[in-house]
């Protein structure tokens, strides 16, 4: 079985997330037991608990965004759970308007789009996800957008001289993942809104 670079990166992402989710869950369970036993309390335990919850939320989100995709269905309740956990430790509020489950491939594209929007919303904002007749729209809104036009050109298939760093890898992965699903990404920008469609 041949593996291209995009699939290889997704397989690596899946493996890392899979191997990290269990120990993070175990740490969280241990903290809950310590809290119930009364052996530990106070701001130190709260800080550790918040950090573990944030790490768990990011790993669950990244597992879908950067992991290997498939036609496997993800239920609406699972998506909502992941997004609710992401909201607790992040700057973004999410509105997932779809009422039914979706394929893992579609959710992956929406999550990659959300990560691109997060980069352009340094002070936080709202991300709304819609789908009508198989066409997806992910909208990011905030009071202060930070748009790197050269970087965003990469998302819609244009040329870009901006180096892809680990923090910006979603800008390279979104168009590749969309192409693999026979989709084209389009981006529209205003002063307070970025709209991604695929």
Architecture of the CATH domain 71-198:
2-Layer Sandwich (3.30)
Cα–Cα distance list, 151 to 32, 72, 161, 191 (Å):
42, 31, 8, 17
Q: What is the mean pLDDT of each run of 10 residues along the chain (198 residues)?
A: 57 69 74 71 75 85 86 93 89 95 95 96 95 96 89 87 86 92 94 94
Cα–Cα distance list, 139 to 25, 51, 96, 152 (Å):
32, 28, 11, 14
Give pLDDT, residue 1. 41
| Bridge-based pairing state of the strands 92-96 and 125-132 | parallel
Q: With CA atoms as reference, report the closest residue to 4 among 198, 184, 173, 185.
A: 173
Strands annotated E in the chain? 73-74, 92-96, 102-103, 125-132, 135-141, 186-189, 193-197
The pTM assigned to this predicted structure is 0.85
Give pLDDT, residue 95. 97
What confidence tens digit (pLDDT) does each residue in 152-184 have? 999 988 878 888 888 888 999 999 999 999 999
Q: Are 97 and 130 in contact (CB under 8 A)?
A: yes
Residue 197 — left, alpha, or beta (φ > 0 → left; ψ -120 to 50 → alpha)?
beta
Bridge partners (DSSP) listed for residue 42: none
Give pLDDT, residue 41. 66
Q: Where are the domains of the chain?
A: 1-68, 71-198
Q: Which residues contact 99 (CB under 8 A, 6 or more apart)?
A: 76
Give pLDDT, residue 74. 94
């Amino acid at each position: 079985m041949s593996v291209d670079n995009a699939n290889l990166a997704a397989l690596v992402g899946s493996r890392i997330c899979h191997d990290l989710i269990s120990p993070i869950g175990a740490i969280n369970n241990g903290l809950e037991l310590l809290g119930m036993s009364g052996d530990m309390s106070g701001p130190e335990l709260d800080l550790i608990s918040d950090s573990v919850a944030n790490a768990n939320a990011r790993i669950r989100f990244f597992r879908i965004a950067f992991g290997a995709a498939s036609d496997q269905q993800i239920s609406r309740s699972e998506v909502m759970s992941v997004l609710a956990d992401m909201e607790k430790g992040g700057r973004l509020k999410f509105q997932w308007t779809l009422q039914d489950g979706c394929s893992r491939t579609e959710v992956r594209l929406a999550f990659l789009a959300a990560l691109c929007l997060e980069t352009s919303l340094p002070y936080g904002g709202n991300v709304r996800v819609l789908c009508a007749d198989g066409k997806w729209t992910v909208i990011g809104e905030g009071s202060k957008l930070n748009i790197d036009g050269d970087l965003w050109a990469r998302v819609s298939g244009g040329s870009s001289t901006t180096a892809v760093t680990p923090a910006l890898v979603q800008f390279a992965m979104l168009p590749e993942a969309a192409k693999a699903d026979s989709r084209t990404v389009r981006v529209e920008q205003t002063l307070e809104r970025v709209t991604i469609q695929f």
